[in-house]
């Protein structure tokens, strides 16, 4: 079965640079969620989109923005990167048919030097 696809899987950036993370949800899923997981920590909810509209917002810094496109893929844009942004970034997707169940992608490991 198709799963959530995230790219890139690994990304290394310098401080103050920008980064763009991409998420391709499971086919026919219309909702995407972004989570950030620091080393040894719980995943923390950042933001979610339903049918291309922002549906919920968590602890997402103002330096970050995200959107969902017409093909339902989503991009997380991160600017003015800081050392503390180094983390695993997960995307999850769901649909009406999955109910509240969210399916997670493999994550993007971002390292800020």
Per-residue x/- track, 52-81, another protein (CB under 8 A): ---xx-x-----------------------
Contacts for 7 with CB less than 8 Å, ≥ 6 apart:
21, 22, 24, 108
Q: How many residues bind another protein (CB under 8 A)?
A: 25
29, 16 Cβ separation under 8 angstroms: no
Minimum distance of another protein from residue 111's CB (angstroms): 13
The correct pick among 4, 21, 66, 112 for binding another protein (CB under 8 A) is 4
Instruction: Specify the residue for token string 């391709």.
Output: 24
């Amino acid at each position: 079965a198709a799963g959530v696809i995230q790219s890139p899987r690994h990304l290394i950036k310098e401080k103050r640079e920008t980064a763009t993370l991409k998420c391709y949800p499971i086919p026919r899923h219309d909702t995407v969620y972004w989570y950030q997981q620091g080393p040894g920590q719980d995943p923390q909810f950042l933001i979610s989109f339903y049918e291309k509209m922002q549906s919920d917002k968590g602890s997402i810094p103002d330096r970050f923005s995200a959107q969902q496109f017409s093909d339902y893929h989503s991009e997380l844009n991160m600017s003015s990167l800081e050392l503390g942004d180094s983390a695993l970034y997960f995307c999850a997707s769901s649909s009406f048919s999955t109910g509240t169940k969210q399916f997670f992608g493999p994550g993007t490991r971002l390292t800020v030097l």
